[in-house]
Amino acid sequence: MSRSGDPGDRLRARIQGLRAKTTDNGCTEAEALLAAAKVAELLDRHDLSLSDIDIRHAPCERRVFETHRKKRIPLDHCIGAIADFCDCRVWREKSQAGTARFVFFGLGSDVEVALYLAELVDAAVRFELGRYKTTAEYRQYRHKDRHLANASFALGMVASIADKLVAIKAERDAAGRGAGRDLVVLKGAVVDAELEKLDLNLRSVEGRRRMVSPTAYDAGGTAGATLSIGLPTK
């Protein structure tokens, strides 16, 4: 049971407050990623407030991101980077309705932030794709080719964001090791031990190659690189 004034409770309350201002009520892409940057900064501070004993005895939790789609969505290509960014595990499964969902598993604060980042990235991609559809470049595509352009733009954007998350995570981890405390290894051992107890039949699935429009893919990559600037570097 959480103690009164527990840092984890304060972090979750902050995330819920940000969610109410962003994904729940709509926000610009810049506002969404500035919120993500703030939450990641708070998560780093929260980790530093925990002792090794706190981490070893912390319960693991699940958080679910529902895609409401039976087919894969652009977020598929960023979901692993989001999970790694938050030191948790993630898998894809089908709901009873046959739609796909992502399940984050890890320490409570980590999975809370991972779910929020997934919501933010998904919302940002939808916003930027909508804006791309109003450009002269997009209107040059023939009607029958626009589905490919849409998919290419979204893939380029999430790939760019994923690359940025991986790079920033590496910097954050290096900073932690430089301070003489490798929390990633400690948390990873705890999460993997708890995951093994679930006795899930998880397997890795190699991603299928996708045909893309280079122009639209590059446009999405440019949008993703721009949006990722607001993420924290420490």
Query: Where are the alpha helices (H) located in the chain, listed in sequence order?
Result: 7-21, 29-48, 52-56, 79-85, 108-132, 136-139, 146-178, 183-197, 214-228
Instruction: Please write the tens of the pLDDT for every residue from 176-229.
Output: 787 777 788 889 999 999 999 988 888 776 655 555 556 776 777 777 666 543
Laid out side by side, the sheet with 60-66 consists of 60-66, 100-107, 89-94
Scored b (16 or more CB within 10 A) or e, 218-233 reads: ebbbebbeebbebbbe
Task: Name the band, by pLDDT with cuts 50, 70 and 90, for residue 105.
Answer: very high
**What is the residue type of 219?**
A
CB-based contacts of 107, cutoff 8 Å, min separation 6: 55, 58, 60, 61, 87, 88, 187, 190, 191
Instruction: Please write the tens of the pLDDT for every residue from 69-91.
Output: 988 888 988 999 999 999 999 99
pLDDT surpasses 90 at 51: no
pLDDT at 107: 93
**Burial class of residue 135, CB neighbours in 10 A (0-12, 13-18, 19+):** exposed
Dihedral sign (CA 9, 80, 67, 33): positive
Task: Name the band, by pLDDT with cuts 50, 70 and 90, for residue 231.
Answer: very low
Percent of all residues in the chain with a pLDDT value above 90, rounded to a whole number? 29
pLDDT at 35: 72
Locus of tokens 């045909």: 211
pLDDT surpasses 50 at 42: yes
pLDDT surpasses 70 at 54: yes
pLDDT at 25: 64
**What is the residue type of 14?**
R
pLDDT surpasses 90 at 65: yes
